Structure 1
Amino acid sequence: MKEFIKVTKALSDPARVKIIKMLQHKKMCVCELREILQINQPSVSKHLKILENAGLVYSAKDGLWVNYQLTDGSSSPYAASFLGNLRHWLSDDPEIATMIFKLPEIRREDICKI
């Protein structure tokens, strides 16, 4: 039951669900997520840590960047199930649709001025 609760708690916050929905479309760094969510960097990092602990996302260093992306769910059947279902859920939500529409405009090089 611990694993189930960990995954459901991770997905109980709207910002974390938005992160999952964005990561369905591309891997992203904290600064890109912060730009779309319009919340501060420490909050984004905290959300990502919770999602990572639940087995929903993982990070990988790529030069200067730390990229976050969805896991394949292999660490938990609950994570796999929710990730699979979330691919189909909320696509018609106006807030999610607007956020996804803005994704191509978000470029880490512009945000971080590197």
Structure 2
Amino acid sequence: MKFILSLASIVILSFGTSSLAFAAEVPATKAPVAKVEAVTTQEAININTADVQELTKLKGVGVKKAEAIIAWREENGNFKTVDQLLEVKGIGEVTLAQNRENIRI
């Protein structure tokens, strides 16, 4: 019985060692890594003609703010500068800064 256990131990150890040796002999291949660029292209939005749906594409602008932009436009006429958005209730410096590149007049 001891002989069988010893023989089994030797076989197991030999197999385990040869597996490690085999693993060391196999060259590690470096798989090509696909470079993924996060590109967020947003179409410029004309704040003088945009509807609620278009205005909500701006960061931080939900339905209520979009409606406020349109209401301001209806009361005051077209925006003459992008900075006039600050006159719209709910539009602050941060919202304007986040969207300045995507706003057109």
TM-score, with normalisation over the residues of structure 2?
0.29
Whichever of the two has the greater Rg, that structure is 2
> Which structure features the higher share of strand residues?
1
